[in-house]
């Protein structure tokens, strides 16, 4: 592939690339080609974004964790501020719990991929062998 990175980027760089929805390896290309659809691999460096079956399930943990934290903070902040009635507070919390993960979906995936790049940079040994087999 063209601009294959020489080393794993530093953690803050990976985090920023994730927040910008960019390839964690090169930072040059976007991970998504639509609202919910991803490129299979980076158009710039070839880094695969889905490395195997179930690989992206980890992003659900990110999405769930951030959503749960946000709902708890919003709920208790407004509960103790006493600005809303119980029903309004419940409806608002439910709306945040339903809508925020949809908006955060792309960020959760991009951050998951960046997190993975930190711990298991692409291509690992098995992926290098697969690339060699595919090119033969
Ligand atoms: Zn890339």
| Tokens representing residue 132 in the block | 């060699």
Residue 11 alpha carbon to ligand 1 centre in Å:
16
Average pLDDT, the chain: 92
pLDDT at 9 exceeding the cut of 70:
yes
Q: 21 alpha carbon to ligand 1 midpoint, in Å?
A: 11
Q: Which two tokens stand for residue 79?
A: 């509960």
Instruction: Read off the pTM.
Output: 0.86
24 C-alpha vs ligand 1 centroid, how far in Å?
Answer: 7
| More confidently predicted of 3 and 103 | 103
Checking if the pLDDT of 1 tops 50, the result is no
DSSP code of residue 33? S
Question: Of 120, 117, 127, 128, which is closest to residue 10 (Cα–Cα)?
Answer: 117
For the chain, the first-to-last Cα distance in angstroms comes to 15
**Which pLDDT tens digit goes with each residue over 41-70?**
999 999 999 998 999 999 999 999 999 999
**78: three-class secondary structure by DSSP:** helix
Give dist(CA 19, CA 113) in Å, integer: 11
Total count of residues recorded for the chain: 136
Distance 22 CA to ligand 1 centre (A): 8
pLDDT of residue 69: 98
Number of separate helices (H) and strands (E) present in the chain: 4, 0
- The confidence score (pLDDT) of residue 8 equals 86
């Amino acid at each position: 592939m063209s601009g294959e990175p020489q080393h794993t980027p530093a953690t803050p760089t990976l985090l920023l690339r994730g927040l910008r929805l960019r390839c964690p390896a090169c930072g040059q290309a976007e991970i998504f080609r639509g609202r919910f659809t991803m490129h299979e691999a980076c158009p710039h460096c070839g880094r695969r974004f889905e490395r195997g079956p179930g690989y992206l399930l980890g992003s659900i943990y990110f999405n769930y964790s951030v959503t749960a934290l946000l709902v708890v903070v919003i709920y208790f902040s407004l509960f103790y501020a006493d600005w809303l009635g119980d029903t309004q507070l419940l409806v608002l919390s439910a709306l945040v719990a339903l809508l925020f993960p949809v908006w955060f979906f792309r960020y959760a995936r991009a951050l998951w991929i960046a997190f993975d790049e930190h711990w298991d940079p692409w291509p690992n040994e098995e992926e290098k062998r697969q690339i060699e087999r595919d090119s033969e």
